[in-house]
Amino acid sequence: MVSYVVAAAMLVALYVLTYYNLLKGTRCRSDTCLRGRTVIVTGGNTGLGKETALDLARRGAQLILACRSKQRAEAAVFDIRKKSGNNQVIFMQLDLASLKSVRAFAETFLKSEPQLHVLINNAGTGTAGKTADGFNMAWGVNHLGHFLLTHLLLDRLKQCAPSRIVAVSSTMYRFGKIDFSNLNPPGESLIQLIQYYSDSKLCNVLFVRELANCLEGTNVTCYSVYPGVVNTEAFRHFKWWQKVFFAPVATLFFRSPADGAQTSIFCAVQEGIEKFSGRYFTDCKVQEVLPHARDDAVARKLWELHSVTAWLESVAADGRCCLSQG
């Protein structure tokens, strides 16, 4: 009996050491105050986005939660206001799966808010289905929606410089690939959905890399971040039997949303990282990405392709994107 107790104690101690030294991640230690500064967080009503928003609200920022669900966002606004003591937290409607909604959000924001200092492109999905514009959900929401949003708000960020853009990516970028002959392939098998998600996260990294080049000299900087493997509501779409298996693993070995939000917070507030604009951060420090994620030619081609606004709205609802570059 004693041996079982000792073994159990050793396992618990090993788990605690492993979690706090390897899994939990690094906390942002900056005490930067954000009073008088305006911040947008997409998907700020839950998970990483909400924890990021809560931290920035506690720093005194005027905060806009850009979310699809009004009911969930308004509940998050109430909670963040209560916990932070900051009443400058509001909800604005944004559905990244609709380019029309992205444009409407940007128009409303630019008319109603004179300043923007930090844009955090946090919202993401890996679910099946198509966006309102006919793209697979991961590509449309994770990449195209945020690309257009950033483009539409860029002048305001420049006017309010120094300002920052933070894009939440993933280590899954490692498995991503960019096929310019077919950027919107059909298919919704599990393997295909994982590939689409990986592709979109590679696009996040490449987008930030090229954006940094375009912003050189403007005092606007940008960063892509990997939050770690986080236990968020992104897994709520799992089937019940998947949740039975997944829940214990996620609880024990995944980061909490508060821990996962630290690198986004770091890149939004930490002083002295401006020289790393365009780089990829994890655990509150710069990390080198694989060669295909720092291919400047691909990053430039992707940027030029999506900078053609007419193209963003020209793909048929169930069409393939096939463009040749002359």
DSSP letter string, 160-202? T-SEEEEEE--GGGGG----TT-SS----SHHHHHHHHHHHHH
pLDDT (0 to 100) of residue 122: 97
pLDDT (0 to 100) of residue 33: 97
* Residue of 75, 294, 314 whose CA lies nearest to 183: 314
Residue 309 reports pLDDT greater than 60: no
| Tens digit of each residue's pLDDT (9 = 90 or more) over 102-117 | 999 999 999 999 999 9
For the whole model, what pTM was predicted? 0.85
Quickly state the pLDDT bin for 9 (edges 50, 70, 90). Answer: very low
pLDDT (0 to 100) of residue 248: 53
Of residues 58 and 233, more confidently modeled: 58
pLDDT (0 to 100) of residue 305: 81
Residue 5 reports pLDDT greater than 70: no
Residue 250 reports pLDDT greater than 60: no
Quickly state the pLDDT bin for 245 (edges 50, 70, 90). Answer: low
Of residues 63 and 312, more confidently modeled: 63
| Tens digit of each residue's pLDDT (9 = 90 or more) over 118-163 | 999 999 998 889 999 899 999 999 999 999 999 999 999 999 999 9
Query: What residues act catalytically?
Result: 197
**Residue 79, CA distances (Å) to 45, 61, 95 in order:** 10, 16, 22
Following CA atoms 20, 47, 53, 17 in sequence, which dihedral angle do they give, to the nearest 10 degrees?
Answer: 0
Quickly state the pLDDT bin for 282 (edges 50, 70, 90). Answer: very high
The residue extents of the domains of the chain are 35-312
| Tens digit of each residue's pLDDT (9 = 90 or more) over 41-97 | 999 999 999 999 999 999 999 999 999 999 999 999 999 999 999 999 999 999 999
Please state which of the ranges 4-8, 197-201, 267-271 shows the lowest mean pLDDT.
4-8
pLDDT (0 to 100) of residue 256: 86
Kindly write down the DSSP assignment for every residue of 115-133, as one continuous string: ---EEEE------SSB-TT
Phi then psi dihedrals of residue 169, to 5 deg: -110, -150
Residue with tokens 């998907």: 43
| Tens digit of each residue's pLDDT (9 = 90 or more) over 171-222 | 999 999 999 888 888 888 889 999 999 999 999 999 999 999 999 999 999 9
**Residue 163, CA distances (Å) to 37, 112, 166, 255 in order:** 9, 19, 10, 28
3 state SS of 40:
strand
**CATH of span 35-312:** 3.40.50.720
Per the CB < 8 A criterion, the answer to whether 102 and 159 are in contact is: no
